[in-house]
């Protein structure tokens, strides 16, 4: 079975875990953090408009409209502007409210890395069959470590091309993550979803009616301005702020997971940026810009237009952006927010 | 016995061990590396013009004339410009060639720290008595560690206010430094000298005639321009490049050492700048400029007009100067020249 799919790219995040490069209007998804091209552009290129996919719908804040248009470089795009951030459930509700009921929507974050795009496309094909059978489909990443930074999905009964979801597990403590990894049958929730628009509309009206109705009113009272459609602020601000996982997925009883191994990463820390960096030198240093390295190993150095010289350093990040210089061991990346909060 | 003393400040060094702050025309001695005031200004203030000292004679290169005049802030100074660097013997020879034979010259590097100025003055008083008895006087610092970065002076027969020098020891290997520290009777050669000008003239004519005669001709053919006296380049460039230690002190048989404990440091590395820094925080961090510190200990951070944020770092230096950012463990400070050489 084949159907045209509408990519919906959620572009509202800020990404303070990659401060100082990621901040304000220059959010993580617009930066060339991996492979020399921004994560947003990689996301757009992953589902090229043509036989299978329509041009993308990008949901973003007003502050990011210029960056989105700049990075689309004239290719077709629909821009849907959120008047204020209200988390993923409301953002998806805006897209659903503007879509035909029969359309398949593929919702994706704008700031992930997927190394194996053919594997992603194959998973989408499997998911599309389930979505047309009115499953709300999520894609599950096989865990290779007991990561405590992701939600987990427990697979239930097998379906053709996937599994019914038994339950969602919030970001677990380490011992629980280790048990799930050992037990098998769990995957990471990558925040990528595929569903029929009308099916999600019905699910939202059942599970989070306040959110959907606020979004629907915001669309009805919205207006085009230039190349973007602006949802109505007074209507939208009444939408409760909730994630799509909490608001819908965990409550619905017809949710499927399609497991996929596709070299996925949320590139959620400088540690991960180092781990996935291409073109490291022989001493495992990932270097960008004008960097002088003497007797140093395992570092991530991003010179940001300045000149960085390191001597005798191991396993640290030096991130330069404008006048900001961040220095920390790569193992301390979870603490970046402390600096970002103090500095912004 | 009391005599007026001419301070001679040798200001020709570059100080690449404190790169990137120290470089080119902005040499180490002009930077506020300790106590908020440049080392040059501290050197000038240490021998204030008045009853005991004349205004200083500063020997420097053409590139440093502006910095010297700027930092003198209108106070009396004689500027003697070396056409090219020819090491300390030739620089001192220039000063000697311009001085009256009976004058006492106190030669000092421009980039040292001396915490206890009254102790320095007391040592100068003792040294002046010896200098008037035609001793070439050097000042010896009591070693508190087996440092391999300094030359050592072995004391011989006691004199009034000091000792005859038995011998000079070049920068020693560690085991030799440890033996000298254990044996006692050795002091560090701080590069500070006091002598009668005519006595040094005679010593130079005996031990390094080429150097002195080149300096003498360079003075005879020199000219005043603005506030400085320029030694003649064609004459001076024939002077062999040698240190005063090698050229004179080690060869003369009437050299005295005046031991002095005066909180001396040559501030020869970022490690030393950290060790001597005032106003460190409770975690032994020496911070200057706009620095955000999270869970970090024992660091030297100089933000140089930028904003540095450190998380979880211990015992490192982060030195920012213009577009240059240097990051290294404080224990690796001896390797700074590798970066300076690659960058300059």
Q: Report, as an integer, the average pLDDT of A248-252.
A: 97
Residues A225 and A294 in one domain: no
Please check the confidence at residue B15 and state whether its pLDDT lies above 80: no
pLDDT averaged over every residue in chain A? 95
Asked if B328 has any chain A CB less than 8 Å from its own CB, the reply is yes
- pLDDT-derived band at B204, boundaries 50, 70, 90: very high
Residues A179 and A287 in one domain: no
Q: Report, as an integer, the average pLDDT of B269-288.
A: 95
Question: Does residue B2 or residue A97 have the better pLDDT?
Answer: A97
φ, ψ (nearest 5 deg) of residue B87 = 70, 180
> For the segment A26-46, what is each residue's pLDDT rounded down to a tens digit?
889 999 888 889 999 999 999
How far apart are the C-alpha atoms of B158 and A93, rounded to whole Å?
94
Count other C-beta atoms under 10 Å from residue A102's C-beta. Answer: 11
Count other C-beta atoms under 10 Å from residue B258's C-beta. Answer: 26
> For the segment A126-181, what is each residue's pLDDT rounded down to a tens digit?
999 999 999 999 999 999 999 998 999 999 999 999 999 999 999 999 999 999 99
- CB distance B207 to B96 below 8 Å: no
Of the candidates B294, B308, B339, the beta carbon closest to that of A309 is on: B339
Asked if A295 has any chain B CB less than 8 Å from its own CB, the reply is yes
Q: Report, as an integer, the average pLDDT of A55-60.
A: 97
**Which chain B residues have a beta carbon less than 8 Å from that of A312?**
328-329, 331-332, 335
8 Å CB contact of A316 and B327: yes
User: Is residue B87 exposed (0-12), middle (13-18) or buried (19+ Cβ within 10 Å)?
Assistant: middle
Please check the confidence at residue A14 and state whether its pLDDT lies above 60: yes
Give, in degrees to the nearest 5, the angle at Cα A185 between A183 and A189: 115
> For the segment B83-98, what is each residue's pLDDT rounded down to a tens digit?
999 999 999 999 999 9
Alpha-carbon distance B20 to nearest alpha carbon in chain A (angstroms):
10
Of the candidates B294, B316, B332, the beta carbon closest to that of A335 is on: B294
- Residues B278, B282, B286, B291: is their CA dihedral positive or negative? negative
Looking at A260-274, B16-30, B193-207, B240-254, which range is the least confident one? B16-30
Residues B250 and B290 in one domain: no
> Does residue B54 belong to any structural domain of this protein?
yes
Question: Does residue B173 or residue B14 have the better pLDDT?
Answer: B173
Asked if B320 has any chain A CB less than 8 Å from its own CB, the reply is yes
Q: B-contacting residues of A 18-37, CB under 8 Å?
A: 20
**Which domain-ending residue is among B265, B300, B334?**
B265
pLDDT of residue A1: 42
- CB distance A211 to A242 below 8 Å: yes
Residues B179 and B137 in one domain: yes
Residues A65 and A93 in one domain: yes
> Does residue B242 belong to any structural domain of this protein?
yes
**Which domain-ending residue is among A265, A298, A317?**
A265
Of the candidates B303, B305, B311, the beta carbon closest to that of A338 is on: B311
Cβ–Cβ pairs < 8 A, chains A and B: 107
How far apart are the C-alpha atoms of A318 and B324, rounded to whole Å?
13
> For the segment B105-161, what is each residue's pLDDT rounded down to a tens digit?
999 999 999 999 999 999 999 999 999 999 999 999 999 999 988 999 999 999 999
How far apart are the C-alpha atoms of B206 and B212, rounded to whole Å?
10
Of the candidates B310, B324, B328, the beta carbon closest to that of A328 is on: B310
Residues A176 and A191 in one domain: yes
How far apart are the C-alpha atoms of A172 and A186, rounded to whole Å?
12
3-state secondary structure at position A259? strand
Alpha helices in B64-136 (DSSP H): 65-72, 87-98, 117-132
Asked if A339 has any chain B CB less than 8 Å from its own CB, the reply is yes
Residues A88 and A161 in one domain: yes
How far apart are the C-alpha atoms of B290 and B102, rounded to whole Å?
52
8 Å CB contact of B326 and A318: no
Residues B112 and B237 in one domain: yes
- The residues near A226 (Cβ < 8 Å, ≥ 6 apart) are none
What is the count of structural domains for chain A? 2
**Which chain B residues have a beta carbon less than 8 Å from that of A305?**
323
CATH code, domain carrying B196: 3.90.550.10
> Does residue B271 belong to any structural domain of this protein?
no
8 Å CB contact of B342 and A309: yes
> Does residue B270 belong to any structural domain of this protein?
no
How far apart are the C-alpha atoms of A9 and A46, rounded to whole Å?
11
Please check the confidence at residue A7 and state whether its pLDDT lies above 50: yes
Query: How big is chain A, counted in residues?
Result: 344
**Which domain-ending residue is among B240, B265, B290?**
B265
Please check the confidence at residue B2 and state whether its pLDDT lies above 60: no
Residues B210 and B283 in one domain: no
Please tell me the pTM assigned to this model: 0.87
Closest CA to B328 of B8, B12, B3, B17: B17
Residues B159 and B280 in one domain: no
A161: left (phi over 0), alpha (psi -120 to 50) or beta: left
Residues B210 and B324 in one domain: no
B304: left (phi over 0), alpha (psi -120 to 50) or beta: left
Could you list the residue range(s) of the whole structural domain that residue B336 is in?
Answer: 276-343
pLDDT averaged over every residue in chain B? 95
- CB distance B336 to B327 below 8 Å: no
Nearest CA in chain A to B316: A313
**Which chain A residues have a beta carbon less than 8 Å from that of B285?**
none
Of the candidates A312, A313, A327, the beta carbon closest to that of B310 is on: A327
8 Å CB contact of B307 and A324: yes
> For the segment B291-340, what is each residue's pLDDT rounded down to a tens digit?
999 999 999 999 999 999 999 999 999 999 999 999 999 999 989 999 99
> Does residue B13 belong to any structural domain of this protein?
yes
pLDDT of residue B1: 42
Residues A221 and A90 in one domain: yes
pLDDT of residue B168: 95
């Amino acid at each position: 079975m084949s159907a045209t799919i509408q990519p919906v790219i959620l572009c509202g995040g800020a990404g303070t875990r990659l401060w100082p490069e990621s901040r304000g209007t220059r959010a993580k998804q617009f930066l060339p953090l991996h492979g020399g091209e921004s994560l947003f552009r990689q996301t757009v290129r992953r589902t090229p408009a043509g036989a299978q996919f329509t041009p993308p719908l990008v949901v973003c804040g007003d502050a990011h409209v210029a960056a989105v248009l700049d990075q689309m470089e004239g290719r077709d795009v629909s821009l849907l502007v959120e008047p204020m951030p209200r988390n993923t459930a409301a953002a998806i509700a805006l897209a659903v409210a503007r879509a035909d009921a029969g359309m398949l929507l593929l919702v994706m974050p704008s700031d992930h890395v997927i190394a194996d795009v053919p594997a992603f496309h194959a998973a989408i094909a499997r998911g599309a069959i389930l979505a047309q059978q009115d499953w709300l489909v999520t894609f599950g990443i096989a865990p290779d470590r007991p990561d405590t930074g992701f939600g987990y999905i427990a697979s239930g009964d097998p379906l053709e091309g996937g599994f019914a979801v038994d339950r969602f597990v919030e970001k677990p403590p380490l011992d629980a993550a280790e048990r799930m990894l050992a037990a098998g049958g769990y995957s990471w929730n990558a925040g990528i979803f595929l569903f029929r628009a009308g099916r999600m509309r019905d699910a939202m009206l059942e599970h989070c009616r306040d959110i959907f109705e606020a979004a629907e009113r915001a669309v009805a009272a919205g207006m085009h301005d230039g190349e973007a459609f602006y949802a109505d602020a007074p209507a939208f601000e009444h939408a409760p702020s909730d994630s799509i996982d909490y608001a819908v997925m965990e409550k619905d009883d017809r949710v499927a997971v399609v497991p996929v191994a596709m070299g996925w990463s949320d590139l959620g820390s400088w540690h991960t940026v180092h781990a996935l960096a291409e073109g490291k030198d022989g001493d495992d240093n990932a270097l960008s810009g004008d960097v002088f390295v003497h007797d140093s190993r395992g570092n991530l150095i991003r010179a940001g237009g300045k000149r960085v010289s390191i001597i005798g350093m191991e396993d640290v990040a030096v991130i330069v952006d404008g006048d900001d210089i961040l220095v920390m061991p790569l193992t301390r990346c979870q603490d970046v927010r402390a600096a970002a909060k103090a500095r912004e």
